[in-house]
Amino acid sequence: MHVVLVEPAFPDNQREFLRGLLSTGARVSAISERPPEALPAHLREGLFQHERVRSVVDEHALAEAVKRLAQRARVDRLEATVEAHVMAAAHVREQLHVPGTTSRTAWLCRDKAAMKEAVRGAGLPCAASARIGSVADAQAFAQRTGYPLICKPLDAAGASGTHKVTDAQELGRALDALQVGAGRTIAMEEFLDGHEGFYDTVTVAGKVVLDFASHYYPNVLEAMRTRWISPQIVATNRIDQEGYRDLRALGQQVVEALGIWTSATHILWFHGGKGRKFSEIGCRPPGVGVWDLYCAANDFDLYAAWAHAIVHEKVPFHPSRKYAAGMIALRPDRDGVIDRYEGLDAISQRFKEWLLDVRTPPAGTPTQGVEAGYMANAYVRMRHPDYDTLRGMLDTVGRTVRVVAR
């Protein structure tokens, strides 16, 4: 088995996917925008071959690199785990007849409007949505659906470029910001209230073989717009309980509806007054280090488990469900540069048994904006056998630790 991984060097956690593949005993090659020296020696030395390209989303360059690798050994799998790389890899797979996620499935997991059409077509609950190519289309959708609404790029990741609008004036401003009047096509959706979370899987031959559920506190759109909030992501260890049965069933149905075969998936959902509804899916692992939380919570190597799914189409690893694990993002109190931290020593002493890691960029580091995400500035990651206790611990961190900027 010869597996090619697209861009193992950046971002840094890509190295974990490479490590996982190397652990399977497969022949592993890499296609990267960076030289081999960008990888640690122990990973670099494990590679069969390394091809460097100007851009891994340049499909011609990517295909030519795969062809060069295939001259040395037939390429059996071509894998991409970064959202921006998924579609290019799918197109090259089909061009070169390499098994894996098809371009249709990759497109359905990328294009928000088509994604929801496919899910609704399978009879699954999701928000009303439409592809919007003009101001008139947007106004008509708003009239049919009512406010509030969400406007976002068709291929947005997370809350990037997302606008919540509550009236016609806000809709007009959002359409201008998204350049709809200039010919850009976007997705518009019914705004779903209630609690937001995500369901992550590893699938083999269209069946979920590993799964995990996590929760946002607060919901992503609010977290990415409000400086004073220290938002949390918390992975539960209660997924085997009755309350998650319908979520797990929904996840399997979404996988089937979109034609996902052997892959990692990242499914977002809402649960509110209208029940549980599918929000969107990525045909790849989640971001912001969530798989690291799953590894720490379950005393196993999820990266190796994923790699075995790709290489052997079976997973000889089982999550322990021993811990819940979570992270809390700590925002600077203003834009500028980091000056100091307050309250860290108290937290370290109080919760040292349960701390996984603490990231504190040194004084003088430029701050990043609230919209930059959960890992942009400082954060704390923890685990505990009891989910509710962990939530309380994370809340205490948020109340105690201050990131002071100047």
Q: What is the tens place of the pLDDT at every residue in 145-192? A: 999 999 988 876 656 688 999 999 999 999 999 999 787 899 899 998
**CA dihedral of 51, 53, 59, 64, whole degrees rounded to 10:** -50
Angle separating helix axes 245-257 and 112-121, nearest 10 degrees: 110
Q: Where in the chain is the domain with CATH 3.30.470.20?
A: 195-405
Q: How confident is the model at residue 229 (pLDDT cuts 50, 70, 90)?
A: very high
The pLDDT of residue 143 is above 60: yes
Per-residue pLDDT at 121: 95
Which burial class, exposed, middle or buried, applies to 132 when counting CB atoms under 10 A from its CB (0-12, 13-18, 19+)? buried
Domain with CATH 3.30.1490.20 in the chain: 128-190
Quote the CA–CA distance of 156 and 134 in Å, as a whole number. Answer: 18
For residue 273, the model assigns a pLDDT of 87
The pLDDT of residue 394 is: 98
Structure tokens that stand for 354 in this block: 């349960």
Residues 375 and 387: their CA atoms lie apart, in Å, by 22
Chain region(s) in the chain for CATH 3.40.50.20: 2-100
Domain 2-100: top CATH class: alpha beta
Cβ atoms 361, 338 nearer than 8 A: yes
**Is 195-405 a CATH 3.40.50.620 domain?**
no
- 278 token code pair: 């599918």
pLDDT, residue 157, reads 64
ω into 36 cis (within 30 of 0): no
Q: Which of 144-153, 157-166, 300-309, 320-329 has the lowest mean pLDDT?
A: 157-166
Superfamily of domain 128-190: ATP-grasp fold, A domain (3.30.1490.20)
Q: Kindly tell me if the per-residue pLDDT of 193 is higher than 80.
A: yes
* pLDDT of amino acid 162: 87
Q: What is the pTM of this model?
A: 0.92
Which is higher by pLDDT, 405 or 128? 405
Render the burial of 372-385: b for 16+ CB within 10 Å, e for the rest: ebbbbbbbbbbbbe
Nearest to 75 by CA among 51, 58, 52: 51
